[in-house]
A and B are shown apart, each in its own frame.
Chain A
Amino acid sequence: MQPKAAKKPWFAPFEPVSPGAGRWLALGSFLIPLAVWCAVSYLPFVWHPLVKITDPGGVAYFQPGTLVEKATFALENSRMRERGLAQAEGVPANPVFLPSPGEVAVALYRSFTTPPRRSGDKWLHESLWHSIQIIFWGFLWSSLFGVPLGILSGVFGVFSKLTEPAVDFVRYMPAPAFGALAVAVLGIYDAPKIAIIFIGTFFQQVLVIANTTRKLDPALIEAAQTLGARRPGILFKVVLPGISVDLYNDMRILLGWAWTYLIVAEYIGASSGITFFINQQAKYRIYDNVFAAILIIGLIGFTTDRFLAWFGGFLFPWKSRTGPAAKPADA
């Protein structure tokens, strides 16, 4: 029998967690906030500052379903008692802006199955699809210019000095500040929204990718030179493949940034997409739908990123799956 491995302490600095424990902890990172939300929603003694009326009794302005302050409820009931009228009845409840997980789950399902309240309004999936298109085009245009410019800046000092100071200057201007200008130039529909995503992403992209390019081990370039590589060979056969893994990961992070500009971008001109959906639902005070829409943005972002991370493993087979700890077989 093998001796039992020494148990690893829970808090070992800079020690990776075992894969098994890692999965449980990752699950916990979602379940713990969900548990807190459940507790606040379903356990009446945790918060529930309001009372939801089930039977108005003698109180004239109470309706079944009305939310009232606990103090108001007590006051009205004491008045009823003085006048000998029927007592109002109700159950503890949370404010309307905090729906329970169950209600949100139902809303999430219903928003895909029930038509929107007003005939002109968009379905949730239509709104989402519109938003995804805005992100896609904004990010695509940004990458089309940002990636080559970033790589050139990283490789050639001339490009670096010619672009980076100005890019560094512009990136401090918040993208939404260009909103009014974008509408004036590009109209009120999708173009200005794509422009805001572009502005929000592009300038960061150039700098991040230039830095990534500069981090390439110069010894690889020198090795290539001693093997007879000239400038195009170095650029396309050494720099590009050499930075590809980091570039890919940069793009994942930048795509996340593009999403953060989405809501602001969709406010510009004619409000559209998921932002319009959220605002409409908030106007109708259907907060479970608002939650559902916000959650879905997170869900889309998260699954996209997980997918890209997984896909990266296929794109870059030379990146050891098991990390640097994978021990090679010696000859």
Chain B
Amino acid sequence: MNPAMDAPELDYRRQSPGVAARFGRLRQRPVILSVRGLGRVFGGHTAIGDISFEVHRREFLCVLGASGCGKSTLIRLVAGLDTPSSGAILLDGKPVAGPGPDRGMVFQGYTLFPWLTVKKNVMFGLRMCGKSPTEAECEAREWIALVGLSKFENAYPHQLSGGMKQRVAIARALANRPRILLMDEPFGALDAQTRAQMQDYLLEIWRNVDVTILFITHDLDEAVYLSDRILVLGANPGHVLEVIENPVPRPRSRDQFTAPEFLAAYRRISELIHPRGSATAEKIHIPRLTKAGDDVE
């Protein structure tokens, strides 16, 4: 995993003055999304127990957890695609009722409309929200330019690579100027290189566009690289283990993957989602099928 895991340990809670000041400013910003005592029960199974957190304006919040901790359930509830069994979700202080353009969403699967060109895909939301065709086209062009796909505005989704499709999906969601952008493991289906590229793209977009991001991932590196704060979830039922204030300073670069703050945060999350002993609890015994002396180690 990380080459410098054995470096002298740094407390993940220790923040440089610059980072501490940023968090100070962040806390001053208005709360965009407020989740209070959220619960969701499917039949007899409790997917999410009791989750509460807040997202401030222009914050980048990552939600991280092992599979089955209710990450996707959580984001679907926030998007309004599912109804909570208990608790409340407030957007700008008003309870969320059903899906809407104020919470743009980027899904893991490519959900571009295959029958529409890139431009028409980005125009879709604008048209649905009552913009005239010329107005919508004009704005769509700007968003497509923002994600660097102007050359492909008349291409159909099947002609694009996975990374390009997700860039269109981001442009499509942003075009509606959502209060918060919900991203459900958006880069999960991409190969490692494209994924790294997309992470940099996203940080760049987030820096330059007035947008708040709630980002679901199961990738520790991704969470630490992108986020301001990390909401670490535990499973059975889904609950908040800890909200970590990311000590890695901004602007971010890939060199920081081996920085002490990065490793400290990484180590802490790792401890939270794989508590000591849990990984070794289910050790598999594999019988030896090679000759004695024919060893690889």
Do B163 and A330 have beta carbons less than 8 Å apart?
A: yes
Interface pair A241/B100, CB less than 8 Å apart: no
**Are B173's CB and A328's CB within 8 A?**
no
Q: How many whole Å from A15's CB to the nearest CB in chain B?
A: 22
Is there contact, CB below 8 Å, between B129 and A226?
no
Residue pair A225, B156 in contact (C-beta under 8 Å): no
- Whether A226 pairs with B100 at a CB distance below 8 angstroms is yes
Is the C-beta of B161 less than 8 angstroms from some C-beta in chain A? yes
Question: B148 an interface residue at 8 Å Cβ cutoff?
Answer: yes
- A224 interface residue per 8 A CB criterion: yes
Q: Which residues of B contact A235 (CB under 8 A)?
A: none
Shortest Cβ distance from B167 into A: residue: A331
A232-259: which have CB < 8 Å to B? 233, 237-238, 241-242, 244
Instruction: Report A316 CB to chain B, min CB distance, Å.
Output: 7
Whole-angstrom CA separation of A233 from B128 in the bound complex: 7
Chain B residue numbers with a CB within 8 Å of A317 are 156
Minimum CB–CB distance for B89 against chain A, Å: 14
B128 adjacent to A229 (CB under 8 Å): yes
Instruction: Choose, from B26-34, B105-113, B209-217, B289-297, the stretch at the interface.
Output: B105-113
Cα of A210 to Cα of B143 in the assembled complex, Å: 37
Contact A228 B125 (CB under 8 A): yes
- Whether B115 contacts A222 by the Cβ 8 Å rule is no
Q: Is A318 an interface residue (CB 8 A)?
A: yes
- The CA of A222 and the CA of B116, in the complex, are separated in Å by 16
The answer, yes or no, to whether A1 is at the interface (CB within 8 Å) is no
**Could you say which of A225, A316, A330, A331 contacts B81, with CB atoms under 8 Å apart?**
A225
Q: Does A21 contact B (CB under 8 A)?
A: no
Q: Contact mask B103-141 → A, CB, 8 Å, 1/0? A: 111010101011110000000110011000000000000
Is A320 at the interface (CB under 8 A from chain B)?
Answer: yes
Contacts A238-B113, A244-B115 given: A226-B173 contact, CB under 8 Å?
Answer: yes
Across the interface, do B159 and A328 meet the contact criterion of CB distance under 8 Å? yes
Q: Looking at the complex, which one of A225, A242, A330 makes contact with B161 (CB distance below 8 Å)?
A: A330
Is A46 in the interface zone, CB < 8 Å from B? no
Residues on B with C-beta less than 8 A from A242 are 113, 115
- Contact at A320–B158, with CB atoms within 8 Å? yes
Contact A226:B101 (CB < 8 A) given known A219-B109, A219-B111, A242-B115: yes
Nearest CB in chain B to that of A233: its residue: B128
A326 interfacial contact with B, CB 8 Å: yes
A229–B124 alpha-carbon span in the complex (Å):
9
Say if the beta carbon of B58 comes within 8 Å of chain A: no
Contact of A227 among B80, B114, B156, B173 (CB under 8 A): B173
How far apart are the CA atoms of A44 and B36 in the complex, in Å?
A: 91
Residue in B99, B109, B163 whose Cβ sees the most chain A Cβ within 10 Å:
B99
B172 at the interface (CB under 8 A from A): yes
Interface Cβ pair total, 8 Å cutoff? 93
Across-interface contacts of A223 in B (CB, < 8 A): 105, 107, 111, 113
Cβ of B79 within 8 Å of any chain A Cβ, yes or no, is yes
A225 to B124, CA, bound (A): 11
Give the complex CA separation of A224 and B111 in angstroms: 9
Give which listed residue, A228, A244, A318, contacts B176 with CB less than 8 A.
A228
Query: Within 8 Å of chain B (Cβ to Cβ): is A329?
Result: yes
Give every chain B residue within 8 A of A38 (Cβ-Cβ): none
Interface members, chain A 294-331 (any B CB < 8 Å):
316-320, 326, 328-331
B164 within 8 A of A: yes
Task: List the A residue with the shortest CB-CB distance to B201.
Answer: A331
Interface residues on A, range: 20 to 34
Report whether A226 and B105 are in contact in the complex, using a CB–CB cutoff of 8 Å. yes
Question: Chain A: which residue is nearest B148 at the CB level?
Answer: A331
A320 to B158, CA, bound (A): 7
Q: Is B20 an interface residue (CB 8 A)?
A: no
Query: Which of A219, A227, A244, A318 has a CB less than 8 Å from the CB of B157?
Result: A318
Q: Tell me the bound Cα distance from A244 to B114 in angstroms.
A: 11
Specify which chain A residues have a CB less than 8 angstroms from the CB of B160 in the assembled complex. 328
Q: Which of A227, A230, A329 has the most CB of B within 10 A?
A: A227
Interface string of B84-104 (1 = CB under 8 A from A): 000000000000001111011
Asked if residues A224 and B128 are in contact (CB atoms below 8 Å), the reply is: yes
Contact A318 to B99, CB < 8 A, known contacts A219-B107, A220-B111, A224-B124: no
- Indicate with 1 or 0, residue by residue over A64-88, a CB within 8 angstroms of chain B CB atoms: 0000000000000000000000000
- Alpha-carbon distance A230/B100, docked complex (angstroms): 9
Shortest Cβ gap from B25 to chain A (Å) = 30
Question: Interface 1/0s, chain B 161-179, versus A by CB < 8 A?
Answer: 1011001000011001000
**Minimum CB distance partner of B104 in chain A:** A226
Q: Which residues of A contact B157 (CB under 8 A)?
A: 318
Interface centre among A217, A230, A233, A329 (most CB of B within 10 A): A329
Q: Judging by beta carbons under 8 Å apart, are A226 and B158 in contact?
A: no
Please give, as numbers and ranges, the residues of chain A lying within 8 Å of B115 by CB-CB distance.
241-242, 244, 316, 318
Cross-chain contact B100 with A237 (CB below 8 angstroms): no
Residue of A nearest to B165 (CB): A328
| Residue with the highest number of chain B CB atoms closer than 10 Å, among A222, A226, A320 | A226
List of B residues within 8 angstroms of A229 by Cβ: 124, 128
Known: A228-B128, A329-B161. 15 other contacts (CB 8 A): A219-B107, A223-B105, A223-B111, A225-B80, A225-B100, A226-B80, A226-B101, A227-B101, A227-B104, A227-B172, A227-B176, A241-B113, A328-B164, A330-B163, A331-B164
9 contacts between A and B (CB under 8 A): A217-B109, A225-B80, A226-B100, A227-B125, A237-B124, A242-B113, A320-B158, A330-B194, A331-B164
Lowest 7 A-B CB distances belong to which pairs?
A228-B101, A227-B125, A225-B99, A223-B111, A226-B105, A318-B156, A330-B161
